[in-house]
Amino acid sequence: MTARILAQQARADEVLGVLRRGSDSQAEVDFSRHTPVAAKILDQHRSNSQGSVADAPVAEAAAALDGWRSAHTVLQHRLGNGDYPGAAALAVGPGELASTARFSALDEALRSAVDRLTSVERAATTTAYRATSPLTVGGLVIGVLCGFSVGGGIWPRLNEYH
């Protein structure tokens, strides 16, 4: 989830940088700050997972992130050379190599990973609930049996006083 948020923030920084025709260096700094952190999160997930259901989408996301970063490099090069129409077309254009398509692939892979992990967690929570729900009835039965045991233990002592 964090990687997806960072990617969306980086995409916003990228678009702002294009809208400002490359004159806003803070947008590039922010992009350069967000994307490595997202890449690190994806790498950590890939190294820590052992057959997770989200392994394939995370690998796709890592590849898409690399592609998007290379498209961003080309975009920044065009902005640096004063080719604003070319940079704008690369940033929001419909082409397969455009930044939009690369980001969309990344976002889709991250969404798929989040959805898969969410469904696994939801299933685990449901299983845990089903496994522990009989404990309520068991606790009630044990409480009633304890009450009868205490009453049965006290009854002979009460009979001694009659």
Residue 51: the pLDDT is 67
Predicted pLDDT at 127: 93
Q: What's the maximum distance between 2 C-alpha atoms anywhere in the chain?
A: 108
The predicted structure's pLDDT at residue 150: 93
Q: What is the pLDDT of residue 162?
A: 67
Per-residue model confidence (pLDDT) at position 148: 92
User: How confident is the model at residue 16, as a pLDDT?
Assistant: 86
Residue 71, domain extent: 2-160
pTM of this prediction exceeds 0.95 = no
User: According to the model, what pLDDT value does residue 22 have?
Assistant: 67
- Chain-centre distance of CA 1, in angstroms? 2
- The torsion region of residue 21 among left (phi > 0), alpha (psi -120 to 50) and beta comes to left
Residue pair 118/22 in contact by the 8 Å Cβ criterion: no
Q: What is the pLDDT of residue 142?
A: 95
In the chain, % helix, strand, coil (3-state, to 5) comes to 85, 0, 15
Q: State how many domains the chain has.
A: 1
> Per residue of the chain (162 residues), what is the pLDDT tens digit?
788 899 999 989 888 888 887 677 788 888 889 989 998 988 888 777 666 776 888 888 889 999 989 988 888 888 888 888 888 888 888 888 788 888 999 999 999 888 988 888 899 999 999 999 889 899 999 999 999 999 888 888 888 886
Neighbour-count burial of 145, counting CB atoms closer than 10 A to its CB (0-12 exposed, 13-18 middle, 19+ buried):
exposed
Which phi and psi angles does 54 have, rounded to 5°? -100, 10
- What was the pLDDT predicted at 128? 92
User: Which pLDDT value is given to residue 139?
Assistant: 92
